[in-house]
């Protein structure tokens, strides 16, 4: 059995090891094994509450798991990646069990990206059940787009880091008050993403209330797969990264208009497709995106331990 090491912070060499493993997994499976949140932590060496599980065989990193114990209510969450050439040898099971041993008495939540048979089998074998499902939806950017119908009194401009960071965080918090992951962002969360190679102020579109100058809503777009970005096994693709509307402007059609504006921006970059993530239980959002030509492409599943076992 490979050797296991647990650390609270990744060295530069370990970060490079994990990055190489993630690249191998991405090319083998056609999708990135770690969420953006975890990938950012990996690239920056980790965060205060992170734990990294590294499994090596003859000096080769064959398995990696990330344990985040930040959420004291829902419990620790985890993601993992196993080297394609070392699968079916119990590495995934050992990583999950090691994380369970690290947090005795606490419920573990386990993310799996894509509906892969191996992930499903591992979850079932360790008494994990589905607790949340995210859809990845896609649409062609070559298909027609309707014109955005912006509410009266709204103008558009790009995000300005010198002016907008605090006010954007406040709007983001109000818009996603019921969404603990997005609504809980603090300044370091925003700054960390602004340091990423894919960040573009032009693709971060703000809707401004002309009467007050306040941010009424926003559409933050993203481009995956461009040169120098995190590894991806596909051509460049645009993402509807975050669309948010201040509660004072909800119901005015601003969210739909901003979504279209962002899609137009991505199309003007000569991208062929756009993608987004949406909670499978969010019927209104799915209906909106479906009406704009999006269709379900893939699924991410959050597994939680079955309390009956």
Residue 231, pLDDT above cutoff 70: no
Return the beta strands (E) in 69-195 as ranges: 77-82, 109-113, 128-140, 154-158
Confidence of residue 179 (pLDDT cuts 50, 70, 90): confident
Taking the C-alpha atoms of 179, 184, 225 and 76 in order, what is their torsion angle to the nearest 10 degrees?
-80
Residue 229, pLDDT above cutoff 50: no
Tokens 């269709």, residue located = 295
Counting beta carbons within 10 angstroms of the beta carbon of residue 11, is it exposed (0 to 12), middle (13 to 18) or buried (19 or more)? exposed
The reported pTM is 0.80
Residue 232, pLDDT above cutoff 60: no
Residue, of 73 and 194, whose pLDDT is higher: 194
Query: To the nearest whole percent, how much of the chain has pLDDT over 70?
Result: 93
Predicted local confidence at residue 25, as pLDDT: 94
pLDDT for 237-267, tens place per residue? Answer: 999 999 999 999 999 999 999 999 999 999 9
pLDDT for 261-292, tens place per residue? Answer: 999 999 999 999 999 999 999 999 999 999 99
Confidence of residue 230 (pLDDT cuts 50, 70, 90): very low
Name the phi and psi angles at 241, rounded to 5.
-75, -60
Q: For the ranges 38-47, 196-205, 215-224, 260-269, which has the lowest average pLDDT?
A: 38-47
Predicted local confidence at residue 228, as pLDDT: 42
Predicted local confidence at residue 63, as pLDDT: 97
Predicted local confidence at residue 93, as pLDDT: 96
Q: For the ranges 70-74, 153-157, 170-174, 305-309, which has the lowest average pLDDT?
A: 305-309
Describe the crossing of helices 254-268 and 283-291 by its angle, rounded to 10 degrees.
Answer: 50
Residue 44, pLDDT above cutoff 90: no
Give the residue among 307, 301, 308 at the shortest CA–CA distance from 77. 301
Tell me, yes or no, if the two domains 3-126 and 138-299 fold the same way: yes
Predicted local confidence at residue 254, as pLDDT: 97
Counting beta carbons within 10 angstroms of the beta carbon of residue 195, is it exposed (0 to 12), middle (13 to 18) or buried (19 or more)? exposed
Q: For the ranges 17-26, 280-289, 297-306, which has the lowest average pLDDT?
A: 297-306
CATH fold of 3-126: Aminopeptidase (3.40.630)
**Superfamily name with CATH number, domain 138-299:** Gcn5-related N-acetyltransferase (GNAT) (3.40.630.30)
Average pLDDT rounded to a whole number, residues 211-233: 76
Residue 70's DSSP bridge partners are: none
Residue 161, pLDDT above cutoff 60: yes
Query: To the nearest whole percent, how much of the chain has pLDDT over 90?
Result: 74
Determine how many CB atoms are found less than 10 A away from the CB of residue 279. 13
Confidence of residue 307 (pLDDT cuts 50, 70, 90): low
Confidence of residue 36 (pLDDT cuts 50, 70, 90): confident
User: What's the mean per-residue pLDDT of the chain?
Assistant: 90
Task: Give Cα 209 distance to the centre of its chain.
Answer: 29
Reading the block at residue 166, the tokens are: 């605090």
Domain range summary for the chain, segments of one domain joined by + = 3-126, 138-299
pLDDT for 58-80, tens place per residue? Answer: 999 999 999 998 776 678 999 99
């Amino acid at each position: 059995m490979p050797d296991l090491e647990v650390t609270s912070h990744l060295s530069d060499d370990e970060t490079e090891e994990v990055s190489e493993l993630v690249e191998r997994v991405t090319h083998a499976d056609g999708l990135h094994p770690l969420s953006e949140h975890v990938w950012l932590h990996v690239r920056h060496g980790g965060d205060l509450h992170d734990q990294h599980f590294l499994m090596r065989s003859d000096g080769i990193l064959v398995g990696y798991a990330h344990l985040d114990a930040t959420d004291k209510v829902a419990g620790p969450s985890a993601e993992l990646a196993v080297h394609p050439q070392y699968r079916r040898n119990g590495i995934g099971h050992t990583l999950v069990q090691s994380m369970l041993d690290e947090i005795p008495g606490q419920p573990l939540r386990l993310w799996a990206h894509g509906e892969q048979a191996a992930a499903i089998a591992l979850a079932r074998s360790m008494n994990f059940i589905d607790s949340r499902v995210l859809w990845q939806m896609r649409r062609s950017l070559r298909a027609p787009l309707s014109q955005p119908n912006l509410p009266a009194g709204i103008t558009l401009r790009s995000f300005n880091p010198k002016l907008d960071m605090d006010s954007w965080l406040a709007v983001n918090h109000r818009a996603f008050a019921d969404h603990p992951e997005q609504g809980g962002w603090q300044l370091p969360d925003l700054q960390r993403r602004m340091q990423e190679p894919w960040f573009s102020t032009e693709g971060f579109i703000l809707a401004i209330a002309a009467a007050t100058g306040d941010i009424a809503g926003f559409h933050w777009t993203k481009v995956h797969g461009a040169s120098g970005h995190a590894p991806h096994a596909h051509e460049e693709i645009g993402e509807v990264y975050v669309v948010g509307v201040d509660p004072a402007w909800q119901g005015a059609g601003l969210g739909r208009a901003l979504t279209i504006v962002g899609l137009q921006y991505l199309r003007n970059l000569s991208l062929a497709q756009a993608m987004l993530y949406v909670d499978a239980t969010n019927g209104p959002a799915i209906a909106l995106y479906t009406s704009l030509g999006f269709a379900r492409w893939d699924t991410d599943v959050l597994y939680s331990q079955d309390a009956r076992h």
